[in-house]
Amino acid sequence: MFKPRRLWSQLWGLQGMYLCFFLHSQATGSSYPNHGHIPIGTLFNMDAEPVSRSALMYAISTNNELRKGGKGITFNMLSDDVDIDSNFAVTSKLCAQMSSGIFVMYGSTSQSTFKTLQAYSAKFNMPFITPDLSGTIHKEHQPQMLFAKPVYADAIVDLVKGLNWRRLDYVYDNSEGLLRVQHVYDRLKREQYGIEIGFRRIEQVESAHEDLRRLDYLDREKMRNIVLDLSSLNAYAALLRQIPEVGMNRHGYNYILGTLDMLSLDVSRFLHGGVKVYGFQLVDVSRRQVQTFLEEWQELEPGIWPGAGTNLLQTDAALSVDMLHTIRAALTAMIKEQRDVFHYVFRRGKMYNMNKTIGIQCNSNPPLPWMHGEQIYRALKQVDFDGLTGHIQFDEFGQRANYSLDIITAGLDTGLAKIGKWHSRYGLLDNDQDLPVDPIYPQQNYTEWRKVVTTILEPPFLMLRGNVEEDGSPLIGNGRYEGYAKDLAMEIEKRLDIDYILDPVTDGEYGREVENGSWTGMIGQLVSGKADLAIGPLTITAARERVVDFTKPFMDIGISIMTLKPERQKAGLFSFMEPFSLSLWVSIVIAYVTISLTIFIVSRFSPYEMKEHAPYLDHFRYNFTLCNSFWFAMGALMLQGSDLCPRSIAGRIIGGVWWFFVLIIISSYTANLAAFLTVERMLQPVQSADDLVKQAEISYGILETGATRVFFEESNVTTYKMMWSYMSSASPPVMVSSLQQGVHRVQNSGGKYVFLLESSTNEYINNRLPCNTVKVGPNLNLEGFGIATPHGSDLKESVNYVTLKLKEDGTLHKMKQTWWEEKGECGVDTGNKESKKRSLSLNNVAGVFLLLIAGLVVAIGTGLIEAHYIKTQYLKYVSTLDSRCLQHEYSNGNGILNKYIQS
C-alpha cells in the first residue's frame, strides 16, 4: 500500500532521526550577523498524514530562499516522528532536540501527553507551539504554550443556539472530545439555554455501524441533531461514509461537524436525502493570499512534498506555514528591538544557553532553562498579521484571538454553500455582515505576509532556472526564476524590508484594455487586486497611467529595428578585383587595347617613328610595332614604363593621355584596394523606419499587444502612420503574439522580415546565440520601463524612492551590465557595428599569387615554344635572304641570331 509518510521518511532518510534541513544562505553583511539558520524543533504524530511537516518544510525553504544572502532570518528544522500518545517517546525526543539547541518547538500533542510536554516546556522555558487543541478546553494560563489552531467549541455552541436545537447527541472518539462536550454543556447551562444532550463515544470510527444503528434506534420519530467531534479528518471521512450506509442521512437528521476542514470532506451523499450538515472552514480559499500559496502548492511534486500538488489546503498544512511566519515575525521583532539580542547565544548555527552550554540539557542539575525562552514566548504572543488561516493573533492564554470561521452547509435545498461566519468575538454573522470595527484589537498597519509581484517571463527580465538546484535540491518559490526583474525585486525587498513572491502572468501579456473595460496582463493583475507590484519590462503609457501608478522609469528605452545580420563577405581569391566593378575592368581592357592599336596606327603613318637604319626590312622599320605598342601601353598601365618612347606628336599626345588615365585609375585602385581587403563589408538594406516604408520587398511587424502597438496606432507622424496601416492590414499577418515569435521570424526569414521592438530586448537578443540579428538605426521614440502599483497603494512612494536611489547609486547600471553584457554570448565586438577591421591575410591576396604563378608558367611555356619554333622559322627565313645584308643588320644587335647563323 502506498504510504506517503514512509516514502517521505525514506526519501530524506529520517525514520526516527533528526532531519536537518539546511538551505544555503550566508548571513554576511546584513543586519543578522552570524545568525545562520535558526534551529527550530518539531515533533509530528507518526500516525498522521505528513502534510503538516511537508508544508512547514516548504515554508522554511521559501523563507530561506527569499532571505538568501543574509537578508533576514533563515531556519533549520530538527524533526522527529513520534507516537504522540507515549510520554516516554515525546519527552525523549523533546530532550534530544533541546539538547542540540533549538529556539522554539513546534509539535503535535495529545490528551495523554499534553501535560508532560507542557511541564517540560515550562521547566526549560521552551516556547512550544502546537497545532492541536489538547489543552485549549479551558482558558487557563499555560506557560510557554501557544495554540495555533482556533478553538471551535464556542462556534459549535453558537451554532446550536442559532439553529435552535433543543436536543442533541454529541458523538466523539477520544478524550479530547469528551472535554469539549463538557465545555459545550457547561456553557449552554451557564447561559440557561434549555437543551437535552446525549453523549456517545465511538471507539472504532472505522467500523462504527453498530454504534450508529444504536443511535438511530433512539427516538426514531423525533428530529435528530448530532454533533460529530472527531479526532482527525480521516475519522470524519470514515463516519461520513458509514452514516448513509445505516440510513442516517434521511430527512430529519441534522449534523454539526466539529471540523475546520469542511470543504475537504466528501459530503456528496448528504446533498439529496433531506439531511442537513453544518461544518466550519478555516482556510478561506477565496482570499488572495491563500490563492497565491495554492498556486505554488499545486505545482509541487507530491513525491517530494507529501500532501502538495492539489488545490486543497488543509488546516494543518496552513497552520504550519502560518506558525513559521509567526516565529519569524516574533524573532524579527526581537532583533529589530535589540540588534544583538542573539549575538552571544547563537553562532554558526549553534545555540548556546547560559554558562556557554550548547542547547538545553534536560538532565542538567539544577535545570538551566532557555535564557531567551520567556522573551521569545512573549514576542510570539504579540504577532499580528494575516496568514493563511486568517488573522493571526494570540490572547493572554496563548490561544488564537480575533479569528473567524466560515460556516458551510450541505443539504438538498442549498447544495454545498457558505451560509455565514462565526467570529471569535462576535459570534454568528451573516455572509454579508461586516465585522464591527474592533476597538480592542486595532489592526497594526504592517503585515508579515508577502507582496505579490506580477511580472512576465521575458528574457533577460525573468527566466526560469529549471527545477533543481545544482546540488540537486528542488527549486521552489522565487528560486525558480532569475533575471533583471528578480534582482530588481530583491533590491526593493531588501531596502523596504518587505517579502515578495514573483508571479508571472499566465496570459503572457503586458497589459491592454479589453472591450469590457477590464485589463489583461500585468496591468490586469494590479487592477483586479491580485498583485501589489508589477516589475518587468512594462512600458509607462498614458492609458496605463490612468488605471495604475508608475514609478519613475528604471530603464530608458525606445522602439528599435531588428534585422537579420547580413552575411559577412568572405575574402575570396580574387578579392583584389573587388575595388573595381566588372564593367570598369572591361572598360580598362578596352581602353588598353584601343590605346595600343591607336598608337600602333599613328606610328605607322608618322615618319618620326621610322627607324633611321632600317631601310631594308619593312618589318623592323618602326619602333611601334603592334607588339611594342601593346608593350608600351602595358608598361604605362603597370607604372613601369618601357624603353620605347613615341617621337611623333600624335604618339606623345596619346602617351600623355594614357599616362594620365593610368595615373587616375591606379590611384583609385590603390585607394580602394586597402579598404576592400581589410574591411569586411556588411550590406544592410534597411537602416531606418523610412527605408522600411519606401520598400515592398521586406515585411516588418511588431508585438500584437503592448506599448509598441499603441505607439504606432496612435502616432501622428506620417512614416509611422504608414507603417501602422501596412502592419494592421498586411496579409499574411506581420504582427506576432510574443517577442520570441518576432525574433524567430527575423532569424528564419532570410532577411525578408524586420521586427520592431523595444531596444532593451533588441540589444539583449543581438548579444545571444546564434548572434545573427542586429539592431539598426536610431530608436524611433523615447520610452521608459516603470514599476507599477495599484492606485492608492501605500507602496507607491517608497518604491518610487527606492527606484531613484537604485538609479543614482549605480545599482541599476550594474544590473544592466550583468544581464546584457556579461551574460552576452556573441563577444564584445559584434554588437551592432556594421563592419570590423582586421589585418590582411593570404586569403585576401591569394589570387595575385596565383596570377604570378600562372604568368610564370605561361612564360616558361612560351619560352620553350620560342626556343623550338622561332629558331626554325628564323633559320628558314634567313636562308631565303641575303646573308650579308642580314649580317649587317644584326651583327651588333642580336647575339642569339648571330650565334644561330654562325652555327
What 3 state SS string does 66-101 have? HCCCCCCCEEEEEEEEECCCCHHHHHHHHHHHHHHC
Annotated binding residue 537: yes
For ligand ASP, which is the closer residue by CB, 59 or 707? 707
Determine the Cα–Cα distance for residues 358 and 350; give it in Å rounded to an integer.
Answer: 7
- We find the least distance from the C-beta atom of residue 550 to ligand ASP, in angstroms, to be 11
For ligand ASP, which is the closer residue by CB, 297 or 755? 755
Q: 739 and 757 in contact (C-beta within 8 Å)?
A: yes
The three grid cell numbers given for residue 36, joined into one nine-digit string: 545562520
Q: Which of 240, 239, 751, 758 is nearest to 459 (CA)?
A: 758
> Near ligand ASP by CB under 6 A, which window of 111-119, 461-469, 700-708, 791-799?
700-708
For ligand ASP, which is the closer residue by CB, 64 or 708? 708
Is residue 758 within the footprint of ligand ASP (CB under 6 A)?
yes
Q: Which of 428, 425, 430, 429 is nearest to 441 (CA)?
A: 425
Classify each residue of 318-336 as buried b or exposed e, where b means 16 or more C-beta atoms within 10 Å of its C-beta: bbbbbbbbbbbbbbbebbe
Is residue 459 within the footprint of ligand ASP (CB under 6 A)?
no
The three grid cell numbers given for residue 99, joined into one nine-digit string: 539538547
Is residue 537 within the footprint of ligand ASP (CB under 6 A)?
yes
How do 415-423 and 404-411 pair as beta strands? antiparallel
H helices present in 203-354, as ranges: 209-217, 233-245, 288-299, 315-337
The three grid cell numbers given for residue 250, joined into one nine-digit string: 434521511
For ligand ASP, which is the closer residue by CB, 178 or 735? 735
Is residue 703 within the footprint of ligand ASP (CB under 6 A)?
yes
For ligand ASP, which is the closer residue by CB, 128 or 711? 711
- We find the least distance from the C-beta atom of residue 708 to ligand ASP, in angstroms, to be 3
Binding ligand ASP by CB under 6 A: which of 38, 538, 774, 787?
Answer: 538
- We find the least distance from the C-beta atom of residue 720 to ligand ASP, in angstroms, to be 14
End-to-end CA distance of the chain: 119
3-state helix vs strand vs coil in the chain, percent to 5: 40, 15, 40
Radius of gyration of the chain from Cα atoms?
Answer: 46
- We find the least distance from the C-beta atom of residue 556 to ligand ASP, in angstroms, to be 13
Cβ-closest residue to ligand ASP?
Answer: 706
CA dihedral 501→505→509→511, nearest 10 degrees, is -60
The three grid cell numbers given for residue 459, joined into one nine-digit string: 528574457
> Near ligand ASP by CB under 6 A, which window of 171-179, 318-326, 644-652, 704-712?
704-712
For ligand ASP, which is the closer residue by CB, 48 or 723? 723
- We find the least distance from the C-beta atom of residue 800 to ligand ASP, in angstroms, to be 18
Annotated binding residue 127: no
Q: Please give the C-alpha separations between residue 489 and each of 389, 496, 517, 779, in angstroms, as whole numbers.
A: 27, 10, 29, 28
Q: Please give the C-alpha separations between residue 893 and each of 868, 872, 887, in angstroms, as whole numbers.
A: 21, 20, 10
Determine the Cα–Cα distance for residues 61 and 53; give it in Å rounded to an integer.
Answer: 12
Is residue 746 within the footprint of ligand ASP (CB under 6 A)?
no
Binding ligand ASP by CB under 6 A: which of 97, 575, 708, 767?
Answer: 708
Query: Coil, helix or strand for 502?
Result: strand
Is residue 539 within the footprint of ligand ASP (CB under 6 A)?
yes
Determine the Cα–Cα distance for residues 566 and 600; give it in Å rounded to an integer.
Answer: 49
Is residue 706 within the footprint of ligand ASP (CB under 6 A)?
yes
Residues 843-882 that bind ligand ASP (CB under 6 A): none
Is residue 315 within the footprint of ligand ASP (CB under 6 A)?
no
> Near ligand ASP by CB under 6 A, which window of 245-253, 525-533, 536-544, 808-816?
536-544
Determine the Cα–Cα distance for residues 317 and 306; give it in Å rounded to an integer.
Answer: 10
For ligand ASP, which is the closer residue by CB, 331 or 538? 538
- We find the least distance from the C-beta atom of residue 454 to ligand ASP, in angstroms, to be 12
For ligand ASP, which is the closer residue by CB, 330 or 538? 538
- We find the least distance from the C-beta atom of residue 819 to ligand ASP, in angstroms, to be 16
Beta strands in 385-499 (DSSP E): 385-387, 390-392, 404-411, 415-423, 427-430, 451-455, 463-464, 481-482
Q: 471 and 417 in contact (C-beta within 8 Å)?
A: no
Give the DSSP letter of residue 625: -
Is residue 786 within the footprint of ligand ASP (CB under 6 A)?
no
For ligand ASP, which is the closer residue by CB, 499 or 758? 758
Binding ligand ASP by CB under 6 A: which of 407, 757, 795, 812?
Answer: 757
Annotated binding residue 91: no
Binding ligand ASP by CB under 6 A: which of 319, 707, 736, 787?
Answer: 707
Under 8 Å CB-to-CB from 747, ≥6 apart: which residues?
Answer: 564, 770, 772, 773
> Near ligand ASP by CB under 6 A, which window of 247-255, 314-322, 446-454, 535-543?
535-543
Determine the Cα–Cα distance for residues 399 and 403; give it in Å rounded to an integer.
Answer: 11
Number of neighbouring beta carbons within 10 Å of residue 260: 26
Binding ligand ASP by CB under 6 A: which of 32, 278, 500, 510?
Answer: 510
For ligand ASP, which is the closer residue by CB, 543 or 601? 543
Determine the Cα–Cα distance for residues 784 and 787; give it in Å rounded to an integer.
Answer: 10
| Contact characters 590-629, ligand ASP, x per CB under 6 A | ----------------------------------------
Annotated binding residue 74: no
Give the number of residues in contact with ligand ASP, rule: CB under 6 A: 10
- We find the least distance from the C-beta atom of residue 465 to ligand ASP, in angstroms, to be 23
Is residue 524 within the footprint of ligand ASP (CB under 6 A)?
no
Annotated binding residue 539: yes
- We find the least distance from the C-beta atom of residue 537 to ligand ASP, in angstroms, to be 5
The three grid cell numbers given for residue 24, joined into one nine-digit string: 544555503
- We find the least distance from the C-beta atom of residue 854 to ligand ASP, in angstroms, to be 58
Is residue 527 within the footprint of ligand ASP (CB under 6 A)?
no
Q: 758 and 783 in contact (C-beta within 8 Å)?
A: yes
Q: What angle do CA 67, 530, 71 make, to 5 degrees?
A: 10
- We find the least distance from the C-beta atom of residue 779 to ligand ASP, in angstroms, to be 13
- We find the least distance from the C-beta atom of residue 562 to ligand ASP, in angstroms, to be 12
- We find the least distance from the C-beta atom of residue 732 to ligand ASP, in angstroms, to be 21
For ligand ASP, which is the closer residue by CB, 25 or 762? 762
Q: 502 and 472 in contact (C-beta within 8 Å)?
A: no
- Position 218: which residue type? L
For ligand ASP, which is the closer residue by CB, 459 or 537? 537
Query: Looking at the DSSP assignment, which residues form a beta bridge with residue 415?
Result: 411
The three grid cell numbers given for residue 30, joined into one nine-digit string: 546584513
For ligand ASP, which is the closer residue by CB, 332 or 454? 454
Binding residues for L-glutamate: 537, 539, 544, 708, 758
Binding site, annotated residues: 537, 539, 544, 708, 758
Binding interface with ligand ASP (CB under 6 A):
510, 537-539, 703, 706-708, 757-758
